[in-house]
């Protein structure tokens, strides 16, 4: 197999965009085309305002765009010209039919495979970049075997481990790159690409199934750590222990390690919940109900943590938040991203709206349009429609602010739901003066814990103490 000189990536999302920008940046000898059916998204990739916010992404894109990095909707041409085609489309949880609420919806992946089979000529390496259930490559190979022009294919699994908010750092210096495959020549072709900037010792190669399953397992372990420390946070609140002290104490044990032990209002993001539910579904499918139940509990604990946060707010505020203004600080699922998928903020806002609170929302990167979409979606019912009553609830109870301070002006409480750094720099004296008393702060990220807000007059509540 000659070295790869042309890449096509199907899916210009949070993974396809940054990963391909990095490959193009590090491999000026490779032509990289990122394609998508969403013309708006492609237009944004070609504009000054990229569709996703990631520190450092603008610079990386600008360094290669217009040279060896192209964003286009000309999908068939890009596939046909490429030696290697990445599939980086979304794989959300199925919302209908068999496995609804757990299994991954593989419709988009299958459509890509069919498109590749139809338009390709010659030999191509097809790389699964999307997170997929173990053994999906088998289905992809079968679809690719029905080709229009006698094309031939090799399938690799190359799951992505970047975290949103630190995507560029993670891509520049990954802990490891995982490549699963069957034919050593094809694996080597992808290894050669990453070897342009990643030390060879960090390029792990495995069989296809291990690679597919490792991605689901990594996310299950990461989410499990968060749910574990969150479970302990509830016990801390009941007993006078402090979860941050407990986390620091156990984190010094080299077998446990200090990372990913931060207690919070709950994990979010497009991946953790979806990938665990997918793992649960696979375990049930393969007749392993005990294993399925074990992992499902990680998601249940996360739901409990979000519910618990709202319950605590309501109880603390004299058992009613009805008609009270609450400043919502942060809507993204974590700092340094504009992604809101499965953000804890969505569920906390939903439950506060059901209590008839008036919310004034501020996020430095998420648009009002996106927030309204998320709130409407979370209130949709079985038929995927939102009732008039719920739409009115949102219209009458949600407003937006252009700063954290504005969001909390004249409010009864602040709920910190994303750990944006700028929140710690707010003018708390002015905020306190403008709030109703007692001035409650409910910090779902313990972001303001070190600021001694009590000394400024606030009634401060965090997670796990």
Catalytic residues: 271
Degrees to nearest 5, angle at CA 62 with 61 and 64: 75
Nearer to ligand NAI, 24 or 75 (CB): 75
Least distance CB 221 / ligand NAI (angstroms):
14
Residue number, nearest CB to ligand NAI: 13
Judged on CB neighbours under 10 Å (0-12, 13-18, 19+), 236 is: buried
Nearer to ligand NAI, 92 or 257 (CB): 92
Least distance CB 89 / ligand NAI (angstroms):
4
Q: Is 446 annotated as a binding residue?
A: no
Nearer to ligand NAI, 89 or 349 (CB): 89
Q: Is 122 annotated as a binding residue?
A: no
Q: Is 266 annotated as a binding residue?
A: yes
Nearer to ligand NAI, 90 or 345 (CB): 90
228 contacts: CB under 8 Å, gap ≥ 6:
none
Least distance CB 155 / ligand NAI (angstroms):
16
Is residue 177 a contact partner of residue 156, using CB atoms and an 8 Å limit?
Answer: no
Least distance CB 228 / ligand NAI (angstroms):
22
Nearer to ligand NAI, 163 or 241 (CB): 163
Q: Is 216 annotated as a binding residue?
A: yes
Name 307's bridge partners. Answer: none
CA–CA distance, 302 with 286 (Å, rounded to integer): 25
Nearer to ligand NAI, 12 or 27 (CB): 12
**C-alpha of 6 from chain center:** 29
Least distance CB 16 / ligand NAI (angstroms):
6
Least distance CB 135 / ligand NAI (angstroms):
16
Q: Which long-range contacts (CB under 8 A, 24 or more apart) does 278-283 make?
A: 278/93, 278/102, 278/103, 278/104, 278/131, 278/133, 278/216, 279/216, 279/217, 279/220, 280/102, 281/99, 281/102, 281/103, 281/104, 281/133, 282/133, 282/134, 282/216
Sign, Cα dihedral of 367, 372, 378, 382: negative
Encode burial over 441-458: b for 16+ CB neighbours within 10 A, e otherwise: bbbbbbbbbebebeeeeb
Least distance CB 163 / ligand NAI (angstroms):
6
Q: Is 57 annotated as a binding residue?
A: no
Write down the H helix ranges in 240-288.
Answer: 243-251, 272-285
Nearer to ligand NAI, 106 or 321 (CB): 106
Q: Is 316 annotated as a binding residue?
A: no
Q: Is 215 annotated as a binding residue?
A: yes
Q: Is 12 annotated as a binding residue?
A: yes
Q: Measuring CA to CA, how many Å separate 272 from each of 180, 267, 318?
A: 22, 8, 35
Is residue 324 a contact partner of residue 362, using CB atoms and an 8 Å limit?
Answer: no
Query: DSSP for 379-426?
Result: T--TTS---HHHHHHHHHHEEE-SSHHHHHTT-SEEEE-S--GGGGGS
Is residue 445 a contact partner of residue 420, using CB atoms and an 8 Å limit?
Answer: no
Q: Interface with ligand NAI by CB under 6 A: which residues? A: 10-16, 36-38, 41, 75, 88-91, 108, 111-112, 130-131, 160, 162, 164, 270-271
Which residues are known binding-site members?
Answer: 11-16, 36, 41, 89-93, 130-131, 160-164, 215-219, 255, 262-268, 271-274, 333-334, 341, 445
Which residues are known binding-site members for substrate?
Answer: 160-164, 215-219, 255, 262-268, 333-334, 445
Which residues are known binding-site members for NAD(+)?
Answer: 11-16, 36, 41, 89-93, 130-131, 164, 271-274, 341
């Amino acid at each position: 197999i000659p070295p790869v000189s042309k890449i096509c990536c199907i899916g210009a999302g949070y993974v396809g965009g940054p990963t391909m920008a990095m490959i193009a940046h590090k491999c000026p000898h490779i032509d990289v085309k990122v394609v998508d059916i969403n013309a708006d998204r492609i237009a944004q990739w070609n504009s000054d305002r990229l569709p996703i916010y990631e520190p450092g992404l603008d610079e990386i894109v600008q360094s290669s765009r217009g040279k060896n990095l192209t964003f286009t909707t000309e999908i068939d041409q890009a596939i046909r010209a490429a030696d290697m085609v990445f599939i980086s489309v979304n794989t959300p949880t199925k919302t209908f039919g068999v496995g609804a609420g757990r299994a991954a919806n593989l419709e988009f992946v299958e459509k890509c495979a069919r498109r590749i089979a139809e338009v390709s000529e010659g030999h191509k390496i097809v790389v699964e970049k999307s997170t997929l259930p173990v053994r999906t490559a088998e289905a992809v190979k079968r679809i690719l075997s029905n080709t229009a022009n006698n094309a031939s294919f090799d399938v690799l699994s190359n799951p992505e481990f970047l975290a949103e908010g630190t995507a560029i750092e993670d891509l520049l210096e990954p802990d490891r790159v995982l490549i699963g495959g069957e034919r050593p020549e094809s694996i080597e072709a992808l290894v050669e690409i990453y070897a342009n900037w990643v030390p060879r010792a960090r390029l792990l190669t495995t069989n296809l199934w291990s690679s597919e399953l490792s991605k689901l397992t990594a996310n299950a372990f990461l989410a499990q750590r968060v749910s574990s420390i969150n479970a302990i946070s509830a016990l801390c609140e009941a007993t006078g222990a402090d979860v941050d002290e407990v986390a620091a104490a156990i984190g010094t044990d080299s077998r446990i390690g200090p990372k990913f032990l931060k207690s919070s209002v709950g994990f979010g993001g497009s991946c953790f919940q979806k990938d665990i539910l997918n793992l649960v579904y696979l375990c049930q499918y393969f007749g392993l109900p005990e294993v399925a139940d074990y992992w499902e509990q990680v998601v249940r604990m996360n739901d409990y943590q979000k519910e618990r946060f709202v319950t605590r707010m309501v109880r603390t505020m004299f058992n009613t938040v009805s008609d009270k203004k609450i400043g919502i600080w942060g809507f993204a699922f974590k700092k340094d991203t504009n992604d809101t998928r499965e953000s804890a903020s969505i569920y906390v806002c939903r439950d506060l709206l059901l209590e008839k609170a008036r919310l004034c929302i501020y996020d430095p990167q998420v648009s009002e349009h996106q927030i309204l979409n998320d709130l409407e979606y979370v209130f949709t019912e079985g038929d995927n429609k939102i009732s008039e009553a719920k739409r009115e609830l949102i219209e009458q109870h949600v407003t937006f602010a252009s700063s954290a301070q504005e969001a909390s002006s004249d409010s009864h409480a602040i709920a910190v739901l994303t750990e944006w750094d700028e929140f710690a720099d707010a003018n708390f004296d002015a905020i306190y003066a403008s709030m109703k008393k007692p001035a409650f702060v409910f910090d779902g990220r313990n972001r303001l814990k070190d600021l001694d807000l009590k000394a400024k007059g606030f009634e401060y509540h965090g997670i796990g103490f």
